[in-house]
Amino acid sequence: MIYLDNAATTFPKPESVYNEVLNCMKNYGANPGRAGHKLALQAGRVIYETRENLCKLFNIRNPMNIIFTYNATDSLNLAIKGFLNSGDHVITTSMEHNSVIRPIKALEKIGVENTIVNCDKYGQLNVEDIKKAIKPNTKLIVTTHASNVCGTLIDIESIGKIAREMGITYLVDAAQTAGVYDIDVEKMNIDMLALPGHKGLLGPQGTGILYIKDGIDLRHLKEGGTGSKSEELTQPHILPDRYESGTPNTPGIAGLNEGVKFILKEGIDKIRKHEEELTEYFIKELEKIESVKIYGPKDVKKQCSVVSINILDEDSSEISYILDSVFDIATRSGLHCAPLAHKTLGTFEQGTVRFSIGYFNTKKDIDKAIQALKVIDSQIK
């Protein structure tokens, strides 16, 4: 199997991730922060260490500002719905995933206004359009760092600057870039950062992260046991407990810690360079195949390692099916939970066949994908 669905979940993971998930379950599979016994303390220590390592990766000062969640969707819901109130206005883009668009649309019911800024047909955002959309009641800007459909990068640093100048909170969805691109919450004026643990951070599924800057007070969407202030019938105020109710996914977080450690050791530049090289090569070879339409900027300085294509007007799911069943190549077809992005790219009806490259892919994988597409091309014409 050639796995080119890394935008959904990176696969495989570093061996250390598998080993630590198992080590945690077998040797310290207790509840962190609840009891004082050795196993519980070890679980708590590993979770704290994971917060520290995430801080290193994103230049976050205080490990307690890192909230562990179920997935990036969970993080985005907490950030968006915990922050906005009736009468507020939020700005986002047409390239967002449903994990951003659906919570924002749901908030319309309680009187939260939104503006969805359109990107161009390559998925590119004109940052000035964000500025133009600002109204007196704009409280939040939410953008992805890169499209999950065609990889187009958004200039989050420039948006962060605008947000700071205008006193607006900025939430970044880094689902497609965390662990691969340099993200510095201080330098980029990112107030909240939503991350999946199981994509570029190389951790297991069932792990999400939300960084919340000091001074931002979100409504907690859940209440429950936190292991702290147990005597109180209301949710405690301290971070991260305020937003972390119930038993966390300790083995998952322990695995995520190893993923982050792998990235810190390998170096984010090396990881990105490898993905860029493969992406560049893939796009170059794709361009040689007559029936292939490529979406997005076709420039690795303007996009991450997510490439969407179609073959003539063939149904994208049919092509994905052939790639899987005949060539043993895993891709994803359809709308990728981002309908507005497909409207932006002009692919709402057809969907796209998405190839997403990970750090463990090789040039040989790309060659096989190209070879398969050439065979399909030759038979379809």
Residues 11 to 50: which contact a second copy by CB under 8 A? 11-13, 17-18, 21-22, 25-26, 29-31, 34-40
Using a 10 angstrom Cβ sphere, with 0-12 exposed, 13-18 middle and 19 or more buried, the burial of residue 135 is: exposed
Q: Which stretch binds a second copy (CB under 8 A): 57-65, 129-137, 242-250, 260-268?
A: 242-250
Q: At closest approach, how far in Å is the CB of 255 from a second copy?
A: 8
By beta-carbon proximity to a second copy, the closer residue of 189 and 356 is 356
Residue from 246, 265, 269, 346 binding a second copy (CB under 8 A): 246
Q: Which stretch binds a second copy (CB under 8 A): 10-18, 54-62, 288-296, 358-366?
A: 10-18
Binding to a second copy (CB under 8 A) within 59-88 occurs at 69-74, 76-77
By beta-carbon proximity to a second copy, the closer residue of 79 and 188 is 79
Q: Which stretch binds a second copy (CB under 8 A): 49-57, 92-100, 130-138, 185-193?
A: 92-100
Quote the CA–CA distance of 334 and 352 in Å, as a whole number: 6
Residue from 247, 315, 360, 374 binding a second copy (CB under 8 A): 247
By beta-carbon proximity to a second copy, the closer residue of 41 and 216 is 41
Residues facing 235 on adjacent strands: none
Sheet holding 306-311, edge to edge: 292-294, 306-311, 353-356
Q: At closest approach, how far in Å is the CB of 132 from a second copy?
A: 23
Binding to a second copy (CB under 8 A) within 191-220 occurs at 196, 198, 204-208
Q: At closest approach, how far in Å is the CB of 319 from a second copy?
A: 11
Number of residues assigned to the chain: 381
Residue from 136, 167, 215, 230 binding a second copy (CB under 8 A): 230
Quote the CA–CA distance of 242 and 228 in Å, as a whole number: 9
CB burial string 2-14: b at 16+ within 10 A, e below: bbbbbbbbbeebb
Query: Is 368 a residue that touches a second copy (CB under 8 A)?
Result: no
Using a 10 angstrom Cβ sphere, with 0-12 exposed, 13-18 middle and 19 or more buried, the burial of residue 378 is: exposed
Binding to a second copy (CB under 8 A) within 97-126 occurs at 97-99, 101-103, 105-106
Binding to a second copy (CB under 8 A) within 307-336 occurs at 317, 320-321, 323-324, 328-336
Backbone phi, psi, residue 256, to 5°: -60, -40
Quote the CA–CA distance of 23 and 250 in Å, as a whole number: 11
By beta-carbon proximity to a second copy, the closer residue of 305 and 333 is 333
Binding to a second copy (CB under 8 A) within 259-278 occurs at none
Quote the CA–CA distance of 79 and 325 in Å, as a whole number: 40
Q: At closest approach, how far in Å is the CB of 197 from a second copy?
A: 10
CB burial string 61-86: b at 16+ within 10 A, e below: eebbbbbbbbbbbbbbbbbbbbbbee
Sign of CA dihedral 157, 342, 87, 74: negative
Residues 46, 49, 55, 58: what is their CA dihedral angle, to the nearest 10 degrees? -60
Binding to a second copy (CB under 8 A) within 333-352 occurs at 333-340, 348
Quote the crossing angle between the two packed helices 15-27 and 250-266, to the nearest 10°.
150
AA identity, residue 153: L
Quote the CA–CA distance of 116 and 244 in Å, as a whole number: 30
Q: At closest approach, how far in Å is the CB of 198 from a second copy?
A: 6
Binding to a second copy (CB under 8 A) within 134-153 occurs at none
Residues in binding contact with a second copy, number by CB under 8 A = 88
Binding to a second copy (CB under 8 A) within 174-193 occurs at none
